[in-house]
Amino acid sequence: MFHDMTELARIGRVLEEAHSLLEGEHKRLEREYGPTPYDAVAGSPAQTLRGVTDLSGAMATALKQFALAVGYSVLGLDERADRMLRVARMKPVAFPSGADRMARPLGEDTVRAMELIRDLGFFPEETAVATDVALAAPQATYPPADWNAYERERRDRSERQ
């Protein structure tokens, strides 16, 4: 039907490893920060926890979608498998953008998980490029301190494309 089982198993293991690393990082940050009141300051404990939650959730969703595609394939439901594989390969929501909320330096497990997904080659190329940008950012960039400037910049960027 689609890829060989060895390749499918490799992709599934990488998605699971990235998710496990991010879940471990989430637990570590919860212990480090303790209860955090909500705020809208990029890099704050609350935003850092939100960011790692977003990253982990994106990987959990991708893994579930991928596993469903493989399951459909094993059952011989090729049309459903193809459709679910296309869904699983879409750019994950909040990955790598969750890292934009997080204090720097990013934790070792967060970096490793992001690198695993970047190097996997499963998601669209834009995911790898955005991951490199997020990893290179010297500080958290979201939410912006000045929403008006942020919206102007987004509009200008969109017009240039």
What are the residue boundaries of the structural domains of the chain, listed by start? 5-160
Record the pTM.
0.89
In the chain, where does DSSP find H-type helix? 5-33, 45-74, 78-89, 108-120, 125-136, 147-160
pLDDT digits (tens, 9 = 90+) for 17-65: 999 999 999 999 999 999 888 898 999 999 999 999 999 999 999 999 9
**pLDDT surpasses 70 at 1:** no
- Retrieve residue 124's tokens: 């669209």
* Residues of the chain above pLDDT 70, percent: 98
Contact 101, 39 (CB under 8 A): no
Of 56, 48, 71, 68, residue with least CA distance to 17:
56
